[in-house]
Amino acid sequence: MGLLQSIRKLGLKSILSSALTLEEEIYSLYSALKTELAGVEVPHSLVRILDEELGHQNLIRDMIDERISDQELKQIIEGKDLHIHDLRRIKELPVDRYSPIRSRLETILAKEREIYNLFAGLHRKSKIPFAHRAFGFLEEQERTHIEVLERLLGRPGSAELHS
């Protein structure tokens, strides 16, 4: 492996480590929300996002540790079980029941936008095909999370995404 390739590989690992940190932060925010809602029905869409965020962490760790091939990445990205949110069916959370967590959802939404913008930028700028595909997939997933949160907060279609 040449010097330039080694530098690119180290740079990608550094970027992935930063992305992993953001994914761990958002996962902990969702986990805290789930704990806070103990005794109250947690909307199914939030449970799904929590699972997806854990999947994002695993994907990024596998990329950092080079445990995933280009072919495996394609299978993950093309997986039918990854596009599981039916946005038309997601309704605003009843204010009376969920008012204590609405501000926390706003915080999570802001963090999701930050992560989306990171992945969108990395997707746009990445010249490594494997990384380009991975960041495109993660960008799409985060866009969906933003749309789900906006619907839960009663603001469907207000996504102000910068890509």
Residue 159 is assigned to a structural domain of this protein: no
Identify the band that residue 163 occupies on the pLDDT scale cut at 50, 70 and 90: very low
When divided into structural domains, the chain yields a total of 1
Q: Kindly report the CATH number assigned to the domain that includes residue 57.
A: 1.20.1260
Structure tokens at 18: 């930063």
What pLDDT is attached to residue 151? Answer: 92
For 59-92, write each residue's pLDDT tens digit: 889 988 989 887 888 887 776 555 567 788 888 8
Whether 8 shows a pLDDT value over 70: the answer reads: no
The pLDDT tens digits for 9-22 are 777 788 889 889 99
- Looking at the predicted structure, is the pLDDT value of residue 158 above 70? no
> How many C-beta atoms surround the C-beta of residue 126 within 10 A?
17
In a domain, 163, yes or no: no
The answer to whether residue 55 sits within a structural domain is yes
Token pair 């994002």 in the structure block, residue: 56
Contact 148, 86 (CB under 8 A): no
**Range among 41-55, 71-85, 109-123 rated most confident:** 109-123
In this predicted structure, what is the pLDDT of residue 118?
92
**What's the pLDDT at 119?**
93
Contact call for residues 142 and 155 (beta carbons, < 8 A): no
Residue 157 lies in a domain: no
With respect to residue 122, please indicate whether it lies within any of the assigned structural domains: yes
Residue 23 within a domain = yes
Q: How confident is the model over 133-147, as pLDDT tens digits? A: 889 989 998 999 999
Residue 1 lies in a domain: no
Q: Is the model's pTM score more than 0.85?
A: no
Residue 2 lies in a domain: no
What tokens does 139 get? 């960008």
**Alpha-carbon 118 to chain mean position:** 11
pLDDT for residue 128 = 82
What pLDDT, on the 0 to 100 scale, is given for residue 139?
93
Q: Which domain holds residue 113?
A: 8-152
Going from the C-alpha of 163 to that of each of 3, 136, 147, the distances in angstroms are 31, 11, 15
Cβ(28)–Cβ(69) under 8 Å?
no
Taking 70 as the threshold, does the pLDDT of residue 1 lie above it? no
